[in-house]
Amino acid sequence: MNPTANALPAAAERTNLLAKVGPMSKLKIFVELTKPRIVMLELVAVLITLHIATGYGAPGSRWSASLLLAVSVGTGLVAGSANALNQWIERERDARMPRTKGRPLPSGRLSPDEALWFGAFSLAFGASLLMFFAGTTAAMVAVATWVVYVALYTPLKTKTWLNTAVGAVSGAMPLWIGWAAGGGDLLDPLALSIVATMFVWQFPHFMAIAWLCRDDYTIAGYQMSTKLDPSGRWAGLQAVIGSAVLLPVSLAPMVFGAASPVAYAVVVGLAGLVMLATSAAFLAERTNPIARRLMRASLLYVPVWLAALWFCVG
Ligand code: HEM
Ligand SMILES: CC(C)=CCC/C(C)=C/CC/C(C)=C/COP(=O)(O)OP(=O)(O)O
């Protein structure tokens, strides 16, 4: 199929669709454009790194409710902008995948221009909030993350299966926003171990999805590991390697300042072993049920890991 074929609803049909939407529903569609579930989970991670970096409760702590609010709204707006621009770029390919064809742009519930203006204003407002209330470093990390996701990862999706590693950088960098806003040094070993944990986690997380959505990605012309190796063994191997590296990297905070290192090690170590076992099962047998189990395990891992950071490290 011609990858540039315009699979969007005709302009007249889109106008008709847009006419039916009231202001509140329109707001909901803009929220949908931001991929809110991904952004919310990312924000929880960002606020926990902020909490740890401020030395909450310690004398001279930088923690304050206004800083928490600025980092939440600022980072949320920049992340939402990144997802809006990603969908603006991918709107015609999204229209060809069952998983994404119901999104605001392919379905015609938003016009491309609306998404573009929303993305521009969200980026400007979010970066400004971070600049004025969380500091220049936090704002610069947020904008750099936006650039990696929108200008590097998104175009690479149709070029090389290595796009996933670039996407994982954009998925991990936001934790530096919280750390910088909390007054931490980006190269602090504790910060590096937290960011690295989020980076490696994304490989088992996405390799399961790359298998589950392999037909979608082929139809849309994306280059994923399951396109490179349709048997799924390469995706399975990346999931196992990612989970194997995740174990030691995620346990590093034990030596970099965890207040309760043993409790942290038990919780995060067990969660990491579940990820490794589920990834190994996926490598051994690439089936949809096993891949779904790995995706669910990956989505359970993050809240468990973040809770351990909050209670045992922060
Ligand atoms: C290389 C990096 C990543 C890739 C390629 C990726 C890809 C995806 C895809 C394609 C889905 C399915 C979405 C759908 O069903 O339409 C998904 C689900 C999800 N991802 Fe990721 N993801 C990545 C990183 C992350 C990160 C960093 C987070 C948050 C910390 C995250 C959180 C989620 C959540 C919460 C879901 C389930 C909710 C939903 O379906 O929207 N992902 N991911
Ligand atoms: C502050 C800031 C800019 C934060 C950005 C955080 C963020 C949006 C991370 C996304 C990670 C990622 C690669 C998701 C997959 O996108 P995809 O396009 O592969 O997903 P899709 O196929 O469902 O569209």
Q: Which ligand is nearest to the CA of 205?
A: 1
Domain co-membership, 163 together with 237: no
Q: Does pLDDT of 182 surpass 90?
A: yes
143 and 25 belong to one structural domain: yes
pLDDT band at 12 (very low <50, low <70, confident <90, very high): low
Query: What ligand has the least distance to the C-alpha of 76?
Result: 2
Are 169 and 298 contained in the same domain?
no
Mean pLDDT of 220-237: 97
CA-based max dimension of the chain: 63
Which residue's CA is minimally distant from atom 9 of ligand 1? 209
Atom of ligand 2 nearest to the CA of 82: 3
pTM: 0.93
14 shares a domain with 150: yes
How far is residue 130's CA from residue 144's CA, in Å, rounded to a whole number?
A: 13
Nearest CA to ligand 1 atom 31: 38
pLDDT band of residue 52 (cuts 50, 70, 90) is: very high
Average pLDDT over residues 114-132: 98
Q: What is the pLDDT of residue 3?
A: 40
Which of 168, 184, 200 corresponds to the end of one domain?
184
Q: Give the mutation target among 209, 300, 302, 305 for probing the ligand 1 site: most ligand atoms within 8 A of CB.
A: 209
Same domain, 177 and 202: no
- Indicate whether 20 pLDDT > 70: no
Same domain, 70 and 111: yes
Together in a domain, 70 and 167 = yes
CA dihedral defined by 81, 84, 89, 95, rounded to 10 degrees?
170
Ligand 2 pocket member 173 (CB < 6 A): no
In short, whether 164's Cβ falls inside 6 Å of ligand 2 is no
- Cα–Cα distance, 41 to 172 (Å, whole number): 12
> Residue 164 CA: which ligand 1 atom is closest?
1
Do 226 and 174 lie in one domain? The reply is no
Shared domain for 44 and 114, answered yes or no, is: yes
Q: Which residue range is the domain that position 127 belongs to? A: 1-184
What is the whole-number distance in angstroms between the Cα of residue 170 and the centre of ligand 1?
Answer: 12
**Structural domains counted in the chain:** 2
Q: Tell me, yes or no, whether 211 and 153 share the same domain.
A: no
Which residue do the tokens 């199929």 mark? Answer: 1
DSSP state letter for 230 = T
* pLDDT (0 to 100) of residue 64: 86
In this model, does residue 157 exceed pLDDT 80? yes
For the domain that residue 82 is a member of, what is the CATH number? 1.10.357.140
Closest among 227, 248, 232, 242 to 297, alpha carbons compared: 242
What mean pLDDT do residues 152-179 have?
98
Q: Which of 186, 190, 195, 191 is nearest to 168 (CA)?
A: 195
Report whether residue 86 contacts ligand 2, using a CB cutoff of 6 Å.
yes
Both structure tokens of 95: 């229209």
Which two structure tokens, joined as six digits, stand for 174?
A: 């936001």
Average pLDDT, the chain: 93
Last residue within a domain, chosen from 184, 211, 236: 184
Q: What CA–CA distances, in Å, run from 218 to 17, 60, 121, 187, 287?
A: 29, 54, 33, 39, 18
Quick check: 108 pLDDT over 70? yes
pLDDT at 164 over 50: yes
If asked whether residues 256 and 217 sit together in one domain, one would say yes
CA 168 to ligand 2 center in whole angstroms: 9
Of the chain, the percentage scoring pLDDT greater than 90 comes to 85
d(CA 163, CA 148): 11
DSSP 110: S
pLDDT score at 170: 98
Does residue 14 carry a pLDDT above 90? no
DSSP state of 10: P
Last residue of a domain, one of 130, 153, 184: 184
- Looking at residue 6, its pLDDT comes to 46
Ligand 2 nearest atom to the CA of residue 142, by list position: 1
Ligand 1 atom at minimum distance from 171 CA: 27
* Pocket mutation for ligand 2, best pick of 32, 33, 38 (most atoms within 8 Å of C-beta): 38
38 Cα to the center of ligand 1, angstroms: 6
- How far apart are the C-alpha atoms of 78 and 6, rounded to whole Å? 28
User: Would you say residue 18 has pLDDT above 70?
Assistant: no
Q: In this structure, are 33 and 84 located in the same domain?
A: yes
